[in-house]
Structure 1
Amino acid sequence: MSVSLDKPQIISHIQKNLNYTVFDTKWIPCSAKFVCMGNFARGTGVIQVYEVQQGEVLLIKEIEKSKPIKCGTFGFTSLQQRYLATGDFGGGLNVWNLETPDVPVYSVNAHKEIINAIDGVGGLGIGDGAPEIVTGSRDGTVKVWDPRQKESPVANMEPAEGEAKRDCWTVAFGHAFNEQDRCVCAGYDNGDIKLFDLRNMSLRWETNIKNGVCCVEFDRKDISMNKLVATSLEGKFHVFDMRTQHPSKGFASVSEKAHKSTIWQVRHLPQNRDIFITAGGSGSLNLWKYEYPVQRSKKDADNIDMGVAGLVGLLQNVTLSTQPISSLDWSPDKQGLCVCSAFDQTMRVLIVTKLNRV
């Protein structure tokens, strides 16, 4: 009994039913506010701003837009501005000042089809270098944008000539530990994972996990690459140790069958990069901890360094909904606080306890 009491608990603190489909939720940095993004049944997009006050959530602002909104990020912006970048169903990338959201402060027709995923870096005091946004689309391309510049992307990763166009489902920045270095990881519907080196504008590494890649995330963006988690359509996730890249074998990894259905999201705890949560298609959340091996690298038969994968342990799991949990975001400011949404049109604020004991 004493062991189970020491385990983290996932508590549904606040639950609110919404009148639209929610695709993404994000905390507004340095605040008790968060945004929900999605689309109304009438086909328009919506951004709602909520504030947590004394155990309740209060709707502060509702913004309706012409196109359904699929995803959003604050990762590129300064703590003073706290602008929100969104990707929509029409392929539009827009940056919003949530105080005056009538007209975007930056807008570009980024893709020919829906923007499935977005990430930001270089803002919020996290990671060095320029503020940039990466978008991944059904049109098969991954593009990097500097919102201080005009309409052209600063990088465009598209299928090679003769290569089949794949639906890009997820993108993530990493390796942004100085002014020059930066990587983008992208996951595709056919199981491909590609790591692009933005400094050299080259494909640094690729692999295939034999199933659609729903989400990729580095454990931290602002360090030399450490770990990457990739989740899949069929309930398995892979943790890649990104510290040692073997010239032919790539990165060492460990995989885990985590859910009975699709793993839609993975999110690392901002205050501890070795703890992460996965969100499943059956409405479940699983909390995990990665344990490093005694030695993270070893020599192969040819005396070349290769990585050694660690182990993953389940800390806690809970089922919140009968529908897939489509988004989740940890609060960057308060450890254990997170917000998630599911396709039952419900938004939940959760508290995960005892994280400092694991």
Structure 2
Amino acid sequence: MSAGLERPQVVAHVQQPLSYTPFDCKWVPRSARLLCLGSAPRGTGVIQVYELRGARVELLREIEKAKPIKCGTFGATSLQQRYLATGDFGGNLNIWNLEAPEIPVYSVKGHKEIINSIDGVGGLGIGEGAPELVTGSRDGTVKVWDLRQKDMPVANMEPVQGESKRDCWTVAFGNAYNREERVVCAGYDNGDIKLFDLKTMSLRWETNIKNGVCSVEFDRKDVNMNKLVATSLEGKFHVFDMRTQHPTKGFASVSEKVQKSTIWQVRHLPQNRDVFMTSGGAGSLHLWKYEYPAQRLKKDSEGAEMGVAGSVSLLQNVTLSTQPISSLDWSPDKKGLCVCGAFDQTLRVLIVTKLNKV
């Protein structure tokens, strides 16, 4: 068999037309169910719950809310509850029991403007420490929420006095490998990437990738920081080796120019953190593999330790839509099962084959 036939294939298993604009999609943990979140034509919010049944999805429930819903996560909930946390266009952070979704179980006016991104940690058995949510908003702030403390964030990262307000497009938790350590990474419209250390409540590192940062994700949240991928408005992504921070040069990185259009999201395969998928503005998906260098560490001329970046190889790419694929989520339970939402108003369930051979 030729090497080409051994490559993973990305197969569109189900294509479900939608009557609204989808902004996010998520697998419900430990189930065959998936969610789609978005904005209805009349300006209200939509949460749809589907169940995968063979070669089709069945709509189980549609929930309408006052404001369009931009983002969601299950990351701060337990497997028993499986509560969904959402951020909406009104700056509201809500948590929903999908079995009784009429009234949120937790609600706070989190931001002055739209919540662009949300992430959770400490739930689902992933990551040590308290279950927390982080939200990033157009108002320029990044806030961390402990659900046991009503109404007030436990951390609020905002521009220092005199610094211009930047639109925060993406946030992600990482480094939650024990009860003390935890970081938040945030990406902004001007290309800034900032790493906040929640243990010391300080800015640990910052860099700029020159174009708006659309998505950031650690390869795993519950280990010592290992790798971080950041995608940009101009079709490029960067993989940072987060194991070693140089005093002046920061973290080593490798970048890859994929296409001319925006790379909207990056998602690591839960069962293999060195494999990740990026979704593009041209309706494309690219599947990547990170290869570590022979040595991840070297010393500069003054004896300071610095990281060594590896390389990335393209495993497969496919074009599924004429419009941007704006959201993407791997199933945490079934290896190779994936869901994505695109601005052609279609929800797609994908099967990625041969991942055991990667």
Question: Any residues of structure 2 matched to 1:76-87 within 5 Å, and which?
Answer: 76-87=76-87
Q: Which residue of 1 aligns with 2:165?
A: 165
State the shift of 1:14 in Å.
0.2
Alignment partner, residue 74 of structure 1: 74
- Are 1:297 and 2:282 an aligned pair? no
The alpha-carbon deviation at position 259 of structure 1 amounts to: 2.2
User: Aligned partner of 2:136: which letter?
Assistant: G
Partner of residue 46, structure 1: 46
Aligned to 2:224: 224
Alignment match, 1:329: 329
Pairing of 1:187-336 with structure 2 (within 5 A): 187-336=187-336
What is the alpha-carbon distance in structure 2 between the residues aligned to residue 343 and residue 171 of structure 1? 22
Aligned to 2:89: 89
Cα distance in 1 for partners of 2:312, 2:180 equals: 32
**Partner-residue secondary structure (3-state), 1:326:** strand
Q: Secondary structure at the match of 1:254?
A: strand
Match of 1:222, SS state, is coil
Q: Which residue of 1 aligns with 2:132?
A: 132
How many residues align? The count is 358
Match of 2:16 in 1: 16
Partner of 1:29, secondary structure, is: coil
Structure 1 runs not aligned, ≥5 long? none
Q: Cα deviations across residues 212-264 of structure 1 (Å, max 9, x unaligned)?
A: 00000000000000000000000000000000000000000000001220000
**How far has the Cα of 1:77 moved from its partner?**
0.3
- Tell me the distance in 1 between the aligned counterparts of 2:148 and 2:87: 17
Residue type of the alignment partner of 2:336: G
Aligned residue in 2 for 1:120: 120
Q: Which amino acid aligns with 1:253?
A: S
Match of 2:2 in 1: 2
Matches of 2:147 and 2:47 in 1, distance apart? 20
Give the Cα–Cα distance (whole angstroms) in 2 for the partners of residues 244 and 9 of structure 1.
34
Normalised to the residue count of structure 1, the TM-score between the two structures is 1.00
Runs of 4+ displaced beyond 2 Å: none
Q: Could you say what secondary structure the match of 2:3 adopts?
A: helix
Q: Does residue 342 of structure 2 align to residue 342 of structure 1?
A: yes
Partner Cα separation in structure 2 for residue 262 and residue 332 of structure 1: 26
Give me the whole-angstrom Cα distance separating, in 2, the residues matched to 1:238 and 1:39.
30
* C-alpha separation in 1, matches of 2:105 and 2:149: 12
Secondary structure at the counterpart of residue 4 of structure 2: helix
Q: Any idea what SS the aligned residue of 2:5 has?
A: helix
Shift of 1:327: 0.1
CA distance in 1, matches of 2:258, 2:265: 12
Q: What are the Cα deviations for residues 317-342 of structure 1, in whole angstroms up to 9, with x where unaligned?
A: 00000000000000000000000000
Q: Aligned equivalents of 1:76 and 1:52: distance in 2?
A: 24
Alignment of 1:102-121 (within 5 A): 102-121=102-121
Matched residue, 2:184: 184
Q: Whole-Å Cα distance in 1 between the matches of residues 46 and 321 of structure 2?
A: 22
Q: Which amino acid aligns with 2:269?
A: L
Instruction: Map residues 140-155 of structure 1 onto 2, 5 A cutoff.
Output: 140-155=140-155
Alignment partners' CA distance in 2, 1:56 and 1:40: 23
Matched residue of 1:98: which SS? coil
Q: Which letter does structure 1 place at the counterpart of 2:209?
A: I
Deviation at 1:149, TM superposition (A): 1.3
Counterpart of 1:65?
A: 65
| Separation of aligned partners in 2, 1:53 and 1:9 | 21
**1:58 maps to amino acid:** E
Aligned CA RMSD, in angstroms, stands at: 0.5
Quick one: distance in 2 between partners of 1:76 and 1:276? 22
Partners in 1 of 2:297 and 2:161 — Cα distance?
37
Question: Distance in 2 between the 1:2 and 1:249 partners?
Answer: 42
